[in-house]
């Protein structure tokens, strides 16, 4: 607990948020959502902070060239008659394509990045997108049918419901487990 004048910052409170990347697996999203703020602070390093600044510099260049940047998207799910709205932010939309900026695109991280872009494509009803890899200039173009995007959206909504509505939270094991902060407690690394 930190006191600032008459205000209090409670580092033991749960984070109560998740990202689209976390939602690739309901269990991962659940862990993030319920993690105390202090754990989250521990996991953020200086590299991530400077990564955010780099990101902003690149986005401002895209904005100058007519792209919409940091576009908000809202997702609503309902649990037992109660509505929950979650907001995500798409890096950019340029010429009708979803653009996501990454420090470096690698084949190991590709499943996470591609899932993220496809979620944005599904939420916005856009069937083309790209991931820009800043360190090497690689551009990974992505195209998906509306049927595929419908499945992506259903999976996203289902995973959000699993986290927000309570009850059993299932695992979704995949290549991404190797890069999951919770793999040790999840034990799935042993199954891979």
Phi-psi map region of 69: left, alpha, beta (phi>0 left; psi -120 to 50 alpha): beta
Does residue 41 contact residue 15 with C-beta atoms inside 8 Å?
A: no
Query: Shortest gap between Cβ of 31 and ligand SF4 (angstroms)?
Result: 6
Selected from 20, 21, 23, 25, the binder of ligand SF4 by CB under 6 A is 25
* 10/1 Cα distance (integer angstroms): 5
Taking the least distance from each CB to ligand SF4, the nearer of 161 and 171 is: 171
- For residues 166 to 185, the per-residue mask of contacts with ligand SF4, x marking binding by CB under 6 A and - elsewhere, is -----xxx--xx--x-xx--
Which listed residue (27, 86, 97, 162) binds ligand SF4 by CB under 6 A?
27
User: Judged by CB, which is closer to ligand SF4: 28, or 86?
Assistant: 28
28 scored as a contact of ligand SF4 (CB under 6 A): yes
Contact of 29 with 175, CB cutoff 8 Å? no
| Contact letters for ligand SF4, residues 61-100 (x by CB under 6 A) | ----------------------------------------
Query: Which residues of the chain form beta strands (DSSP E)?
Result: 2-4, 7-9, 68-79, 82-94, 97-102, 128-133, 139-143
Closest CA to 179 of 115, 130, 110: 110
Interface ranges with ligand SF4 (CB under 6 A): 25, 27-28, 171-173, 176-177, 180, 182-183, 186, 188
């Amino acid at each position: 607990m930190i006191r600032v004048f008459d205000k209090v910052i409670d580092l033991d409170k749960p984070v109560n948020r998740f990202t689209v990347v976390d939602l690739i697996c309901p269990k991962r999203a659940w862990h993030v959502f319920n993690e105390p703020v202090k754990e989250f602070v521990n996991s953020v390093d200086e590299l991530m902070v400077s990564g955010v600044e780099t990101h902003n510099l690149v986005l401002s260049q895209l904005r100058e060239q007519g792209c919409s940047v940091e576009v908000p998207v809202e997702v609503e799910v309902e649990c037992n008659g109660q509505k929950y709205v979650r907001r995500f932010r798409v890096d950019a939309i340029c010429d009708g394509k979803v653009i996501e900026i990454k420090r470096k695109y690698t084949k190991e991280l590709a499943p996470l990045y591609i899932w993220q872009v496809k979620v944005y494509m599904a939420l916005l009803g856009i069937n083309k997108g790209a991931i820009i890899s800043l360190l090497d200039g690689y551009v990974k173009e992505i195209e998906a049918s509306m049927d595929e995007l419908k499945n992506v959206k259903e999976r996203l909504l289902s995973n959000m419901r699993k986290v927000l509505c309570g009850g059993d939270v299932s695992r979704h094991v995949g290549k991404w487990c190797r890069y999951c902060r919770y793999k040790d407690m999840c034990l799935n690394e042993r199954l891979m």
